[in-house]
Structure 1
Amino acid sequence: MGGLLLGSTNIGSNRPDGSEMGLHSSSDSWSRTNALIFPMATFIFGFCLVDGTIVMTVTATVIKHLMLFRSNRRKKHPSRKRRFLRGERLEGRQLLAGDLGGYRHNIYDAEDVNDDGRVSAMDALLIINAMTREVSHDEGMFTDVNGDGRRSALDALRVINRIERGDVIPVDPDVEDERSWLIPEMPSEIRSIDGTGNNLQHDAWGSVGQTLLRSAPADYDDGIRMPAGADRPSAREVSNVLSGLNTSESLNDRGLSAFVYVWGQFIDHDLGLSESEEHGEAFDISVPKGDPWFDPMGTGEAVIPLIRTPVVEGTGTSVDNPAEQFNQITSYIDGSMVYGSDPVTAATLRTNVGGRMAISDDGLLPMDESGMVIAGDVRASENVGLTAIQTLFVREHNRLADEISVADPEASDEEVYQRARLVVIGLVQSITYNEFLPALLGEHALDAYEAYDASVNPGIANEFSTAAFRLGHSTLRDEVGFMSNDGRESKDEMELKDAFFHASMLEETGIDSLLKFDASVQAQEIDLAVVGSLRNFLFGPPGAGGLDLVAMNIQRGRDHGLSDYNATRQAYGLDQVETFDQITSDVELQQKLASLYGTVDNIDLWVGLMAEDHQHAASVGELTGLIIADQFQRTRDGDRFFYKNVLTDSEVESIERSTLADLIERNTSVDGLQENVFFMQVELRGRVILASSIPPNTMPSELREEEIRGVSGMAIELIDASGKLVDSTVSDQHGNYRFRALSETGDYQVRLSESGEAMDVLVAHGAERIRDLDFIVLA
């Protein structure tokens, strides 16, 4: 094969928004008027819509309804258009190597079943044909459009609905401007700050100070309050064996972004807090002799300090009355991390003017004398990513308050504050249930919302707060970065260990570049591997404040008397496992679990949950998914003030149209985010084409598929901005190739190995699908 003749691509230039040559993901071209039918939890109901468009108007009689948060995101990209993609002959297609890897076709464009760049009747026909064949799920992944683990008429209907809507939705910016977002009137009943009064029959349910619930019985060693696990290895030893792994290659196999842990921590701080007392009972973690980080001198006397969680007064007196822990904040998703869980805190955060909350002139949270931010939750300064999103929601509250005050100047400070608070809480709930949970658990993990159920206790389960929802610790990257709107680094990244309790750095960096970074990089996989900053340097170096978060998770489970993994499976209605390979298919991990625990009946709950093989179309295992789904379903159904229960249909639609990406862009200078910031999924693709099959003065994109001769077996490399080889592949029998192993945005180079000829590519956001990166070679 001869050398490279030329590189043909539609890149044209490195404009950050890619608009000149239309390189953005097809998903970016969908009208924002169709956003409501896209969230996973509600998509199935979109079949009854004629065109998927929801239009709201403001009547003359409702003068207090405001244009609340209309989307400006399309107007920021006025030249962005949907590309008409070239068709591909079905009979000539061959699966690319990437289809067999971690990424699956339908995470990019589910309805494009045959991956030809358009949605047509052929896609529906493929599903119908597949339904008549007995094929395994893995083999038929392309036809499982709605991600429910099976082929059915619903998959075909979803494709047909997309065809009926049309694959190209033109948008008139002037028409979009007229679509209003509605803000609710002053509610007749206001949600309390401390959670009391939500349930009219059980006034204290979900309020501050309630006992943590248990699905599995307490399993203290003495049956009363002595910590569990006395016959298990040290929690630090377990951490060293199972979590001290090389995590550089363990990125999330479904392309979840860093926002999965940023939002996870943010919402966790809305649901639960069980802080230890400063001078409480010690339950130190013994460190194995010679531990390279905590006992380098080999004394055998090192420990990692831990204080036991306080228990509910009057518990822990007998086997019939074991020790129980309690939640120190409300268990509702009620924005308590923004507004506080007690009246004193809530009052401290307000300016008492115009309904606004306290914020600095440069849009940052105020700080106390120790350099910690003043927020609704005491943990808001734990890391700069968390502080950034805390700041974002205070900005959103104040933006809303200003809108309300201008439109309704007679409204009191209290009225403005409560109306803005109502919307902010609704936004937090909507993003959690319509974006975050479907991304983490899959589309159908929770039952559809029907109505408020006064019989449901929304209290936090011990298994949830002390084990299952600590999965986010596995997903953190070991660095914190800063990115500009073009997807490139705006300043050098910093190690995660240096970002703990360092909120003051936001005075230099602001929050914009941090939020852009979180949307532009992939998270680590949800598994037992945890980065060194959390295992060895949590809040400081070993011996000077440094802790091991993995060991602390395990030790805290023992402190709370959590039942072991197998007993908890039974409590949640699952069959108990009998062998380690029923937990994980990873043979090495099976062996490590066996060496530590000896039996499947004595595994610490957090360890078992993190070891589980993941469920289909989800990033968690079977029991993990059940625990999290149970908690969020009870939190939702047992909340009388849940946004779908208190707002009108139009107000609900207004809330649900506002994605986290929208909220970020209207409160920062960040621009060009992908529609769903919980996923970072990028694809680069092209062909290696024989020059003799291209007529003079003709571009490959101008020809039909059958007119082009592709070259198979050509090696292509993907190089990042530092010159590191990210991935490599070979062209298939038609000359096609593609890359999906991009873990972050920025500058890349696609290089033909044989000749060294290359094309520069700028990936500006986390949903780029750049095609036509074609190499033309001589015979």
Structure 2
Amino acid sequence: MLFRSKRRKKRSARERRLLRCESLEHRQLLAADFGGYRHNVYDSEDVNDDGRVSAMDALLIINAMTSETTHDEIMFTDVNDDGRRSALDALRVINRIERGDVFPLDRDLDDEPSIQIPEMPSEIRSIDGTGNNIQNDAWGSVGQTLIRSAPAAYGDGISMPAGADRPSAREVSNVLSEMNTSESLSDRGLSAFVYVWGQFIDHDLGLSESEEHGKAIDIVVPTGDPWFDPAGTGEAVIPMTRTPIVEGTGTSVDNPAEQFNQITAYIDGSMVYGSDIGTAEALRTFEGGRMAMSDEGLIPMDASGMVIAGDVRASENVGLTAIQTLFVREHNRLAGDIAASDPEATDEEIYQRSRLVVTSLIQSITYNEFLPAILGEQAIDSYSGYDASVNPGIANEFSTAAFRFGHSTLRDEVGFMSNDGRESQDEMELKDAFFHASMLEETGIDSLLKYDASVQCQEVDLGVVDSLRNFLFGPPGAGGLDLVAMNIQRGRDHGVSDYNAAREAYGLPRVETFDQITGEVDLQQKLASLYGSVDNIDLWVGLMAEDHQREASVGELAGLIIADQFQRTRDGDRFFYKNVLTDSEIESIERSTLADLIERNTSVEGLQENVFLMQAEIRGRVILASSLPPSTIPGELREDEMRGVAGVVIELIDGSGKLVDSTTSDGHGNYRFRSMSETGDYQVRLSESDETIDVLVAHGGERIRGLDFLVFG
């Protein structure tokens, strides 16, 4: 029999909490973390992890606060995940009990309050970013010089690439980034939406595209490289050209070369709407405020098969094209609602009101869902209003190094899933999904978006899948590139400072040994063999090598660089949604999660509330049959009326028959699995027995309980 979790009574969106990412486990605790207490990532108020939230959980916290012996090895007393145990933790449990909701409930789109659409604003955000800051008209606009937090580190102090004494970027890639993808999934349960949204937002913030016929900065390929120099000629290179620089820079050590941002630095939906008037107008129909879209609900394509979007990179992979398409659909859906409710509204009014809502949704999802998933809850200060003294410009350290963390999170395949969480068609290799937007005419975007919410991404580390490291945009020798090597080489091209210098620039102490960067001994040795000194490490490499912070999926410096950028981007934006919308409009925007937006514009149903997390759980008990009264059903008895059996091995099998995990029942007979890396069919098996339970994990937030086994003895 196939087991599915029972649907529970729905609750309105106004009663729902916005789920945030919480740490599952840590690569290495830093010194400051040793005083922290344990936190239950799956259900924070379930302190004793017994599957229920009760007065016992609050009592355990209160007792632990007054006891010299914490027993935190068996309790999760840090309910709010702030690294402390306090009355606030007990209060959250008590509030949860009063609400009466034991486990996260299913989402119900029918209960969603509709988005409040603002009236036509008195002032409209410019398409190119100018005029946002009244005192500094050009801040954040197209063409602005990238900010440097650390001094430029060119080889000659002027413009020559940095790192002349470092190994080839391809050699660094070969030593550090070859990976076994099956052993490197996110240990915090982040979903594939982390890299889909990360790329989407990256294309809203920055573009420093190299010129087609610019000055070469080719990457030297080691002799005999198995992919790029299999014949051992020693002459192979990975072609690359330098980023153009600001005119008038690069003339002396007092005026080093500087790069510039070719789009706006604001989160203003420029990847949807463009960063110049010509692009913006080319995307519009000028009828009813709508944007151009095919009859099939897809973004139009040009003669070469590339989609016509606000950003030139929208066709880079089908996952990115799918999310681009989603937001054009949302714009047109809003435009239809506005036209229906306000027949007198002009095309321009409808377009600008829809654009305001879409931009606000992008901002809200970024700050309320995406960034907490990556950085943790406390990384960015609470919003306190627009600050005209803040320059929102993009930092070179951010765009060239820190925000390229997402390259390590991509899986090596692209999949398609139906609403039940099962594959709807065969996966395709990621390398075959580059510049293949026409494929969406056959697949649509629905199954791709469901897949992104239903699988875990790769871990944020130095490992990068083959499709990006050896086959980016084509096979070696026929367009194939190495994204890792390009990240490193681009940092050298921009004269970005080394890892230690960047630490100092961002207010952190310099490291003196490799083990202060990472606790992984093998990685320490590899870094030492490549760089020799901790003062010579390429910034991207150092950031990706860092041990993760306790509450985050990135390291100390990476988290600071990313947080700094997004805080400045927000605080220096006069048109940030919290600065221009009313309280009720803000509330309606923030209650519309990415999951809601997907379900509004596709046939996808039943997504977990926070699609940036794929954290499913299966649990049950092993019960001694002789402890049950005659003719009773285990599920109808209280747990204390059933005798559990300890020490029984239970196995988790996936749909292909592969052993995923095994565990042993505890002293009360309880067992659980949290090792599902994707949705679909599983089987729970009593080891050394033919007794099994088939179970379907339909979405990435599934909590399936009551998979009980009876044993005789």
Give TM class, smaller chain. over 0.9
What is the 5 A alignment of 1:177-196? 179-196=113-130
Partner deviation per Cα, 1:637-686 (whole Å, 9 max, x = no partner): 00000000000000000100100000000000000000000000011111
Aligned residue in 1 for 2:34 = none
Are the aligned partners of 1:30 and 1:169 in contact in 2 as well (CA < 8 Å)?
no
Q: Does 1:467 align with 2:448?
A: no
- Give me the identity figure in percent: 81
Which secondary structure does the structure 1 equivalent of 2:182 belong to?
Answer: coil
Q: Which residue of 2 aligns with 1:66?
A: none
Alpha-carbon shift at residue 150 of structure 1 (Å): 2.3
Moved more, 726-735 or 424-433: 726-735
**Other structure's SS at 1:684 match:** strand
Determine which of 604, 620, 625 is the counterpart of 1:691. 625
Q: 1:732 maps to what in 2?
A: 666
Deviation at 1:441, TM superposition (A): 0.4
Instruction: Determine which of 544, 561, 569 is the counterpart of 2:503.
Output: 569
Q: Is the 8 A contact 2:219 2:489 kept in 1?
A: yes
- Distance, in Å, in 2 between the alignment partners of 1:673 and 1:170 is 13
Given the superposition, is the C-alpha separation of residues 534 and 180 from structure 1 closer, same or farther in structure 2, using an over 3 Å criterion? closer
| Shift, 1:128, TM fit | 3.2
After superposition, residues 578-593 of structure 1 pair within 5 angstroms as 578-593=512-527
Where 2:706 maps in the other structure, the secondary structure is coil
Matched, 1:707 2:641: yes
Amino acid at match of 1:271: L
User: 1:615-626 counterparts in 2 under 5 A?
Assistant: 615-626=549-560
Which residue matches 1:79? none
Aligned residue number for residue 35 of structure 2: none
Q: Give the equivalent residue in structure 1 for 2:273.
A: 339
Is residue 2:363 matched to residue 1:429? yes
**Contact 2:49–2:75 under 8 Å retained in 1:** no
Q: For residue 239 of structure 1, what is the amino acid of its counterpart?
A: S
Residue number in structure 2 paired with 1:253: 187
Counterpart position of 1:33: 14
Query: For 1:134-533, what aligned pairs fall within 5 Å after superposition?
Result: 139=73, 142-167=76-101, 179-533=113-467
Of residues 136-145 and 673-682 in structure 1, the stretch that sits farther from structure 2 once superposed is 136-145
Listed one character per residue, the Cα deviations across residues 524-582 of structure 1 (whole Å, up to 9, x for unaligned) are 00000000000000000000000000000000000000110011000000011111111
Residues 444 and 101 of structure 1, relative CA distance in 2, 3 Å threshold? closer
Report if aligned partners of 1:130, 1:140 keep a CA contact under 8 Å in 2.
no
CA distance in 2, matches of 1:136, 1:265: 43
1:585-617 deviation per Cα after TM superposition (whole angstroms, max 9, x unaligned) = 101101111111111111000000000000011
Give the deviation of 1:100 after TM superposition: 10
Give matches, 1:66-77, under 5 Å.
Answer: none
Do the aligned partners of 1:395 and 1:667 also contact (CA within 8 Å) in 2? yes
- The aligned length equals 703
What is aligned with 2:548? 614
Residue identity matched to 2:686: L
> How big is each residue's C-alpha offset from its partner over 1:442-476, in whole Å with a ceiling of 9 and x where there is no partner?
00100000100000000000000000000000000
Question: How far 1:139 sits from its partner (Å)?
Answer: 4.7
Partner of 1:772: 706
Structure 2 unaligned regions, length at least 5: 29-37
Q: Confirm or deny: 8 A CA contact 1:105 1:115 kept in the other structure.
A: no
Return the alpha-carbon distance in structure 1 between the equivalents of residues 692 and 51 of structure 2.
24
Instruction: Choose from 683, 697, 702 the match for 1:763.
Output: 697
Contact (CA 8 Å) 2:113, 2:588: kept in 1 or not? no
Residue type matched to 1:639 in 2? Answer: D
Distance 1:611 1:99 in 2: 17
Work out whether residues 528 and 607 of structure 1, in 8 Å CA contact, stay in contact via their aligned partners in 2.
yes
Measured after TM superposition, the shift of residue 730 of structure 1 is 1.6
Question: Where do residues 629-640 of structure 1 align in structure 2 (5 Å cutoff)?
Answer: 629-640=563-574
- Which amino acid letter does the alignment assign opposite residue 672 of structure 1? G
* Distance in 2 (alpha carbons) for counterparts of 1:509 and 1:175: 24
SS of equivalent to 2:653: strand
CA distance in 1 between counterparts of 2:268 and 2:586 reads 16
- Report the Cα distance in structure 2 between the residues aligned to 1:175 and 1:220, rounded to whole angstroms: 54
Inter-CA distance 713–359: structure 2 relative to 1 (3 Å threshold) = same
- Letter matched to residue 187 of structure 1: P
Between the aligned partners of 1:768 and 1:702, the Cα distance in structure 2 is 22
Bigger drift between 104-113 and 407-416 goes to 104-113
Structure 1 residues 720 and 178 mapped into 2: Cα distance closer, same or farther (>3 Å)? closer
Deviation, structure 1 residue 744: 0.3
Give the aligned partner of residue 108 of structure 1.
Answer: 42
Q: Please identify, of 677-686 and 127-136, the stretch whose mean Cα deviation from structure 2 is larger.
A: 127-136
In the other structure, the counterpart of 2:32 is none
CA deviation after TM superposition for structure 1 residue 99, in Å:
8.8
CA gap 1:534/1:175 in 2 versus in 1, 3 angstroms: closer
Task: Summarize deviations over 1:107-163 as a string: whole Å, max 9, x none.
Answer: 211112112233233323323333446789985882222222222333233223323
Gap regions ≥5 residues in structure 1: 1-11, 44-97
Closer, same or farther: CA 101–610 of 1 in aligned 2, 3 Å: closer
TM-score, with structure 2 as normaliser: 0.95
* Paired residue type of 1:691: A
The separation in 2 between residues aligned to 1:172 and 1:500, in whole angstroms, is 35
- Is contact 1:31-1:171 (8 Å) kept? no
CA contact (8 A) 2:12 2:108 kept: no
When residues 729 and 447 of structure 1 are mapped into structure 2, their CA distance, relative to the original with a 3 A threshold, is: same
- 2-side partners of 1:558 and 1:353: how far apart? 48
